[in-house]
Structures are given as structure tokens and as C-alpha cells.
Amino acid sequence: MGQYASRNDAQELAMQQVYMEKAAFYVAELKRQLGRQPLCCVTTFGCQMNARDSEKLLGILTRIGYAATTEEKEADFVIYNTCTVRDNANQRVYGRLGFLNSMKRNKPHLKVALCGCMMQERSVIEKITKSYRFVDLIFGTHNIFKFAQLLVTMFENHEMIIDIWQETDQIVEELPVNRKYSYKSGINIMFGCNNFCSYCIVPYVRGRERSRDPKEIIQEIEHLVTDGVVEVMLLGQNVNSYGKNLEDPITFAKLLQEVEQIEGLRRIRFMTSHPKDLSDELIDVMKQSKKICRHLHLPVQAGSDRILQAMNRHYTKAQYLALVDKIRTAMPDIALTTDIIVGFPGETIKDVEETIDVVRKVQYDNAFTFIYSKRTGTPAAAMEDQVPEAVVHEGFDKLLKVVQETAKERAALLQGKVMEALVEEVNEQDASLMTGRLSNNMLVHFPASESLIGQLVQVSLDECHGFYYTGHIVK
């Protein structure tokens, strides 16, 4: 595991272009041997930032000569972009690696790569090097821009390549990207996190906060809009703290105002907001905006002050509820979603009742509820009073019931209204229907032509089905 070598971003970009040309030579040779174009399959675990990273990996792979496939068994190169926020994500990766081992025995030329947050954990690397020796390439979250260079090293060697950096201050974003959607895209505006919530591994695997230059962000979005993108999602572990470490500091609210000025851009989303950093300025900018979607993801994690303090969240239940009240007063039509953890060390059923009280008071449009996952290396993992499984499940089931009830009640309020939807794809269950996403992030299914994908249309929300709607286009 090495440290980063500081190099000017333009120099790094030029160097990676050279490595892409070299990697293309090896892929062309593989194509000659196979008698067909080699196929690659990139599987993403985890958050939107991982999904964006996967688009970069796929962009480089297609640039050097691979064709993309979603069928792992067809692939000549398989890469898992991993998540380590919860232990079950790690276990899923280990389970699938067993399958790849048998694949590789039948297809010796198959290359296997692992990257992402899970790879930043020393214990994971030790396990892979011991039990999964067939893996060809392992790299982490800090050096993803070196992918072409790592591919060349992999092609030129026959042993496992491991390149994990402990930290970096480099941001190299101008490499090829193969976007999943033509009409919308995620944009990294910052990397890392400084919050150190006691349960969270992210600051240890993603590093400290690093904000991108606002001019580069604006330029990237302008290029995307020219290429047909109508909706962008600004991505960061805590977007509300964007810009603090820049040479010329700028607030996230100011960045949003600049993004709004981009002609041709129709919708702006962002993810994720930490309650302790959400400013009055941001609320005002959202209120005045014609482009920022009426959806805010505001993780509460718990409703008990005692647990919030142990989690190192830097706010109380009362402060969180006061913030929600301020947001809802400014934007009555805002959709609020959240993350909640059940079973944090020392949590009792009484603490869970405090969380349920928050859910009832806020009336979330949706909540992502998780059972606490012990992550080695975090302060919470060393805490006493780890909660027995039976108590965790009792609290989780209670909470989930209230979350589902309140979310359905919120959704039902919009039935019969006409709202704007971005047509995203053909419905997975019924090819005669299109699926669209409303500004509040809810989905609506309606009869329409596939030619409308990527366009904004007015849709009547005829029937609410709990967490989605069915309707029809209003001319």
C-alpha cells in the first residue's frame, strides 16, 4: 500500500492518455486471439459516487477497445466497484468472487479487478491475497484516475497487482466517461468527508474533504448539456461543506446559483446533505430556484439525543426538527427523505421510540432504514453494549411499519395532480409504459412512446400505489 506521488493534474491527464493508447494495443491483441471484440462487465455496489466512478471505468475500458456487457458470464474482463459501508456489501463481493474463480478456470484469459471503498481496508486486502489469488488487479478510491496505467501494468504482469493509496490531494476528472444515461448525469463536486460519524468507515476509505474548482464543475456540466443532458446530480459525501478548502472559498449555495445559470440545463439534484451544515442561504437558494428539484435527502440516523451524541452527529433531535420546520416553511412542496440506523451500540427500544417520533413529526416521503453494521476501525465498533439481534429486529420492525405508513400518506396527497416528469426508461414490467421521475424523486408509470426518453412531460398522477404512481400524459 503506497502513498500518492504529487503531480500536476494536466501532466497526469497527459500521462494517462499515453497509457490508454498502450492498453488499447493489448486489447487489440486479445481481440485478434479471440476472433471477436473483448467484452467487459462493470458491477457497482453502493452509492451514487460509486456509480459515477463506474462510468469512468467503463469510459476508459470502451476507449481502449472493450465492448460493455451486463452479462458477467460473457465478459473477458470483470470489475467489481465495491462498497464497505455495511458488512453485507463485503459478503456479497466475497460470494461473487467464488463464482468468478470457477469462471476463470474455464476461461483462462479472463481478467478480474476489484476497486472502491472495500479495497481501502487492510483486512480485506489480506483476505483477498490469501483466499482469492486469481484476482488480477486491486486498487482503491484515491487512484481511480490511474486506471489505464494500472491496466497496462496488469497486462504486462502475471501476478496480482495491488495499488492502494492511503491519501491524496489530486483530482483528475477529464478522463473518458461512459454514461449510463444520455439525458442525466452525476457530477462529482467534492471527495472525502471530515465528519467522522462514529459508525462510518467513509472518512477512512474516501479520505478528507477535497472540493473541485467551481469553474471546472461548471465547464463539465456545460459540456454535458451540449451532449444532451437535461438533469445533473451534484455528488459529495457532504455537499453542504463544499468549497471550504478551496483557495477562494465558495459556499454550496453559491455553486448552485452558478449551475442554475447554465442554459439548457433543466433540473438540478444533489446528494447528500448533513443537517449540521445545511445553511439558511441554501434553503433560500432552493426556494427561489426554478431548476433545483423539490427533493432533499437529509439523513437523521437516530431520534435519541443520547444516541446522536454517541454517533458524533453534532445536532440534537430538537435542532433537526427545527431545521425541518424551517425547510418546510420555505418550501411546503418539498419531499424529504432520510437515512435511519437501528441497533447502534447502547440503543434501547425507548431510543427507537424517539426515532419513530421524529418520523411521525417530519412525515418523510421515504426513509432508508438500516440495521447497524459493525465496521472494524470505527469508534462504534469498539463500544460496549452492542445490541442483541432480537432487540435490534424488534426496533427495526416497529420503525419500518411507521416509515411505510407515513410515506404512503405523503404520496397519496399528490393523487390527481398534474406534475412534470422526466421520462427515464421503458417500464421493466410493461413495455407499453414509460417510467418517469418527478421533481420530488417519485416514479410514475404511464403509456407513451420510447421516443420521449430524456424529455420532460406533464403527467396526471391518476392513482397512487404507495411508493409510485400510474397516470397519463397531459397534452
Q: Are 421 and 441 in contact (CB under 8 A)?
A: no
Q: Which strand (E) or helix (H) includes residue 397?
A: helix 389-412
Which parts of the chain register pLDDT below 70? Answer: 1-9, 166-176, 178
Amino acid (1-letter code) at residue 343: G
Question: Grid coordinates representing 107?
Answer: 476461461
pLDDT in tens, 213-249: 999 999 999 999 999 999 999 998 899 999 988 889 9
Q: Other CB atoms closer than 10 Å to residue 35's CB: what's the count? A: 6
Residue 424, C-alpha cell as written in the block: 427515464
Q: Which three cell numbers stand for residue 369?
A: 432504514
Phi, psi of 130 (to 5 degrees): -90, -45
Cβ-contact 81, 43 below 8 angstroms: yes
* CB-based burial label for 89 (10 Å; 0-12, 13-18, 19+): middle
Alpha carbons 354 and 286: distance in angstroms, whole number: 29
pLDDT confidence of residue 167: 57
Closest of 180, 181, 203, 201 to residue 192, by C-alpha: 203
> Which domains are delineated in the chain?
9-163 (3.40.50.280), 184-412 (3.80.30.20), 418-473 (2.40.50.140)
pLDDT in tens, 340-371: 999 999 999 999 999 999 999 999 999 999 99
310-326 in b/e form (b: 16+ CB < 10 A) is bbebebebeebbebbee
Q: In what order do the strands lie in the sheet with 366-371?
A: 295-297, 335-342, 366-371
pLDDT for res 8: 56
Contacts of 111 (CB under 8 A, 6+ apart): 76, 77, 78, 136, 137, 154
Collapsing DSSP states into helix, strand and coil, what is residue 321?
helix
